[in-house]
Structure 1
Amino acid sequence: EIGYFGGISEGYRLPQTIDQKVVTKSKKSKTIELNYKEVVFITGKPVEMEGTLSIQSKGRVDDDVDNGTYDEVYTIKIENPLTKEESLERKITFETRYYKVKQDHMTQVIKDSTPKKWTETVRINGKQYTLDSDKSRFIKSMIEDYTPGVQYYSGKLSTEAHYINGDERVVVCLEGPLYGYEQPWSKTETQDLQFIVKSQGGEKNWEMAGTITPSVITKKTLKYYQTPNLPHSLEGTYEEIMENHGGLLYTITSHHPDLSPKQKKGSLSVPSFNIFEILKAPKNLDFLKGHFAEEDIKKLYSMNILDENPVFFKPNQAMPRSQYVKALCRAMNIPIEEIETKKTSRRSKEQVQPQIFADVSPNHPEYPYIMAAHKAQLIQGDGAYFYPERPITREEAFVIFVRILGLERLGLDPTPRTPFVDDAYIAPWAKRDLYAAYNLGLIKGNPEGKILPKNWLSKAEAAALTNRLIDYLRSDMLRDYRALQY
């Protein structure tokens, strides 16, 4: 979404709550257009240009096959805002080949992208540079790690673009790693690129080197607005704000006495118009006044993560495993549409719905969510049984948290000793995940230093923990990535 030539876009938005409620037909070919900026070094001096980046996807990774190919078309049209006579037009069609590697609680996708067609024209300083596509090279190789709740990715790109301007030949080389993640509450991508520009055959031969670090972030924040002291049916409302921002830093590292300090080091920014959404106002929750989880429960009702009739919601009641899984599926936007469609279509009424767990029939109210969580490798159950009505224990809940994040490796060895006083009561299969959750700051233990692993989780505690997970995904995870970038 920021291109692969050292530029930066505003990034595309994350799904909103209304997107889950209003279903639109998906198209096989999808095009998005983003505001875009790039620094052009082809003349030996940095020239900042701005315009648009259009990405047309002609396919994607197929969920039902283990390998395949698809095409994407990147079209960039930018110009110097100070003089419209300087511009760049680039159109490149990528063919991406991929294959999948499936592991416990995650699926990895390996991708290689190369250009099928590449055209580019740069008009700058009264000159026109045309891409020599026969000599130009581009390759991008990536690995995407699909955990139940977060998609991580990292890879490397390398490009060698040859340009012709009469007798002058300019070669622009760009290479470096890219990495990032995407999940329902925030996402980010960073590229750490090194560039070399060489010119021969012109008025004089020259060479330039430097670094470019483009990055983009998108996050959701939640704010509460109290209704003024007026006759009104609503006490207050929650507003969810979508923030997008792209930024770029560049530094020319080679010696160029003809360039000013400002030209040798600079930055670009592409802020986006923030999108906001008013969420539903939770009602009939006055009985929560003063409860430690009052705000957490109201937030989850507002975000449609909890939907139990408030009349029957008992905050101190044990949280059933099935309802806990349902809440997490909604919190992580795990798709269940396919299963729900099968249940409501006329043709499929005659078909037998798959039943993974002997105690979860297709008639169970949480069947779609349990099946979706199983498909996402979030849950496994106990052999052939899931025990949907059994209260979930604290250690079970924490293990699912870490599986959502896909960060089990932070637990070090399979059975570490955790820092909790009651470590001996933690099941061996849960120790690694609880240690990881502790390292992430998701769990801390009570004032006595205990985690109480076998205790049942109340609905209020489940709401507080789920909201803590969302806050981590909104802010803390993004902050950790940003700390590495600056």
Structure 2
Amino acid sequence: MRKRVISVIIITMLLLTLQSYGLEIPGYEGGIKNEMTYMEVVFITGKPIIMEGTLDVRITERNEKGTERYNYRLENIEEEAELTRTVNLSKTIVEQNGQRQEVYTVTSYKESLEIAGVEYETDNKSSQWSKSNIFEKKPGVTYFAGNWDGRKVYTVNDDEGKVTVETRGDVVGYNQYWGTTETQTIEHFIRFEGVGEDAIKWQGTARVEAVHNRTRDYSYESNSPTQISFRGGFLMTQQEENVLKVSYDLPRLADDGSLRSQRNVGLDSYSVDTNPINERLIIPSMRDISGHGAEADILLLASLGAVPSETTNYGPSLPISRGDFARFITMSMGIPIEEEEVRRRTIQTQEEESIFVDVSTSSPNYKYIKAMAEKGVMNGTGEGRFYPNRSVTKAEVAAIVVRLLGFENLAPIQNYSTGYKDDRQIPDWAKDAVYVTKELTLIDATSDNYFQPNRDITKAEAATILTNLIHYLQKELRYDYRENIINY
């Protein structure tokens, strides 16, 4: 009797066409890749086989429609396995109120898998599949989730049996300047049915968890020579890491195709990383922060462009103005701004009218104030005024940070205390935000647990708060979307 084997088809999250809506996930089958190699797992004769090769992806999107095409050429020489797959998808898109809905359907599908001389084939005539994603775009972060269901029927050597694979999956993730993470969880239910009087029948399950992560990180690089105009500077590094974790409970087959009494139960993981992309940041010129407790935070923010590069006196102990804070948060969070030359081409001969009566379009901070106001992160204070030179309080900063993250609804609904000794002094409009920033450890209190909501923050404190926010976006948010899911 010929060997009875099966390939488990991993149906997962699709390649997202816009960076603002997620990572560029490599393909249709839950695989991982770097610049050179694409990898995915198929489960054969009770053991996982890693397939490697090429994946070509073509994406088009126009108005409210889109198409996606995937071509796979994979192999595992040691296992005598080859796989070819062509997938065509159609996508409808609905965008409204900061949300984006995507609904996918398969227009054509063809797959051929040969392992040790046994052939498995399926196409869209013997398969069903549907998927939908939802995205919510907040000022600083886009969050998304999706679900899909599928059923495929494979023929084995044309007439020697069939394999039915039912798949259910979900995906959750986020995208923001400092990092992007997407975690897919896929469950497979497999049934094999042979042909003939002594036909073999068996069932198995497999679980695939695919994590795709892109992170921006920074480090301070000092210079060895002493006779140089600057002591050192920050290096920004961007890299993608991809992890595939598989677990399975499958039958164990003998060489003649018969079932053994033991099950093949196991857990494996694979990973590939991309080559880092390096970027040296600008060198700050400030002279009055040496030895300050927040020196490293200030230097980072200045290197990111939050402080004009020609600034020599920062004034770390001075209160920060609303206009300067708009620049700080815009530049540190990588929020796109409308450049002057673009505005000039758009406006042509018509002079742009400021969105606030007290902020001139020629103000150095105007484009940052405009960006923050248009995204709803920093609002005016009534009568069309922004008060760009007024100082910012800790309560205001808490509200700004929480609006940026879109976490307004994370505070308790009923009456509660923030836990600070001056809880009653916190304005009602800021209480939820103060609670959330405390839970996320983004804004420090005094050593004796006073928040001081109405105190103006200094430029040094602003740099520290935003550095805390960067660290949260780099690490804690990723942990929640990655380790908390795959290491449950």
TM over 0.5: yes
242, 265, 268: which one aligns with 1:266? 268
C-alpha contact 1:293 1:463 (8 A) present in aligned 2: yes
Deviations 1:281-324 (A, max 9, x none): 33x33321111111111111222232253224222222111121
Distance 1:428 1:57, change over 3 A: same
274, 277, 282: which one aligns with 1:275? 277
Question: Which 10-residue stretch deviates more, 285-294 or 395-404?
Answer: 285-294
In the other structure, the counterpart of 1:30 is: none
In the other structure, the counterpart of 2:106 is: 115
C-alpha contact 2:33 2:39 (8 A) present in aligned 1: no
Distance 2:407 2:350 in 1: 38
Distance 2:210 2:319 in 1: 47
Q: Which SS does the other structure have where 1:166 is aligned?
A: coil
Letter in structure 2 aligned against 1:245: E
In the other structure, the counterpart of 1:456 is: 456
Q: Which runs of 4+ in 1 moved over 6 A?
A: 259-263
Displacement of 1:121: 2.1
In the other structure, the counterpart of 1:230 is: 226
158, 164, 169: which one aligns with 1:171? 164
In the other structure, the counterpart of 1:8 is: 31
Name stretches of at least 5 consecutive residues in structure 2 with no aligned partner.
Answer: 1-23, 253-258
Distance 1:483 1:151, change over 3 A: same
Paired residues in the alignment total 451
C-alpha contact 1:415 1:431 (8 A) present in aligned 2: no
Distance 2:234 2:261 in 1: 51
In the other structure, the counterpart of 1:20 is: none
C-alpha contact 2:185 2:207 (8 A) present in aligned 1: yes
In the other structure, the counterpart of 1:26 is: none
Letter in structure 1 aligned against 2:82: S
C-alpha contact 2:248 2:264 (8 A) present in aligned 1: no
C-alpha contact 1:10 1:216 (8 A) present in aligned 2: no
Letter in structure 2 aligned against 1:307: P
C-alpha contact 1:188 1:478 (8 A) present in aligned 2: yes
Displacement of 1:56: 2.6
Displacement of 1:378: 1.8
In the other structure, the counterpart of 1:446 is: 446
Distance 1:96 1:4 in 2: 15
Question: Which 10-residue stretch deviates more, 93-102 or 258-267?
Answer: 258-267
In the other structure, the counterpart of 2:131 is: 140
What pairs up with 1:88-237 in 2 under 5 angstroms? 88-102=83-97, 107-164=98-155, 165-167=157-159, 168-201=161-194, 204-228=200-224, 230-237=226-233
Distance 1:169 1:374 in 2: 59
In the other structure, the counterpart of 1:404 is: 404
In the other structure, the counterpart of 1:245 is: 241
Distance 1:428 1:171, change over 3 A: same
C-alpha contact 1:181 1:187 (8 A) present in aligned 2: yes
Distance 1:415 1:377 in 2: 26
Distance 1:43 1:248 in 2: 20
Displacement of 1:139: 1.2
Displacement of 1:115: 1.6
Distance 1:374 1:93, change over 3 A: farther
Distance 1:376 1:241, change over 3 A: same
Whether 2:370 is the aligned partner of 1:371: answer yes
Displacement of 1:112: 1.3
Distance 2:239 2:26 in 1: 20
Displacement of 1:366: 2.1
Displacement of 1:391: 1.3
Displacement of 1:6: 4.9
What pairs up with 1:308-457 in 2 under 5 angstroms? 309-337=310-338, 340-345=340-345, 348-353=347-352, 355-383=354-382, 384-413=384-413, 416-457=416-457
Displacement of 1:465: 1.0
In the other structure, the counterpart of 1:65 is: none
C-alpha contact 2:288 2:312 (8 A) present in aligned 1: no
Distance 1:117 1:354 in 2: 52
Q: Which SS does the other structure have where 1:288 is aligned?
A: coil
Letter in structure 2 aligned against 1:432: D
Distance 1:301 1:260 in 2: 63
In the other structure, the counterpart of 1:74 is: 70
Q: Which SS does the other structure have where 1:41 is aligned?
A: strand
Question: Which 10-residue stretch deviates more, 267-276 or 386-395?
Answer: 267-276
Q: Which SS does the other structure have where 1:287 is aligned?
A: coil
Q: Which SS does the other structure have where 2:125 is aligned?
A: coil
Q: Which SS does the other structure have where 1:350 is aligned?
A: coil
Q: Which SS does the other structure have where 2:359 is aligned?
A: coil
C-alpha contact 2:27 2:57 (8 A) present in aligned 1: no
Distance 1:444 1:312 in 2: 25
In the other structure, the counterpart of 2:303 is: 302
C-alpha contact 1:314 1:459 (8 A) present in aligned 2: yes
In the other structure, the counterpart of 1:286 is: 287
Deviations 1:318-355 (A, max 9, x none): 21111211221122222224x6444231x623235354
Q: TM-score, normalised by structure 1?
A: 0.85
Distance 1:53 1:259 in 2: 38
Letter in structure 2 aligned against 1:474: Q
Displacement of 1:261: 8.1
Distance 1:110 1:359, change over 3 A: same
Displacement of 1:99: 2.1
Displacement of 1:263: 6.8
Larger radius of gyration: 2
What is the identity percentage for the equivalent residue pairs of Structure 1 and Structure 2?
30
Distance 1:240 1:253 in 2: 43
C-alpha contact 1:176 1:192 (8 A) present in aligned 2: yes
Question: Which 10-residue stretch deviates more, 199-208 or 323-332?
Answer: 199-208
Name stretches of at least 5 consecutive residues in structure 1 with no aligned partner.
Answer: 12-32, 63-67
Question: Which 10-residue stretch deviates more, 151-160 or 229-238?
Answer: 229-238
Q: Which SS does the other structure have where 2:135 is aligned?
A: strand
C-alpha contact 2:250 2:264 (8 A) present in aligned 1: no
Displacement of 1:4: 6.8
Distance 1:271 1:169, change over 3 A: same
C-alpha contact 2:183 2:481 (8 A) present in aligned 1: no
Displacement of 1:235: 0.6
Q: Which SS does the other structure have where 2:297 is aligned?
A: helix
Distance 1:478 1:242, change over 3 A: same
Displacement of 1:51: 2.1
Letter in structure 1 aligned against 2:213: I
C-alpha contact 1:52 1:77 (8 A) present in aligned 2: yes
Distance 1:262 1:463, change over 3 A: farther
Distance 1:254 1:42, change over 3 A: closer
In the other structure, the counterpart of 1:469 is: 469
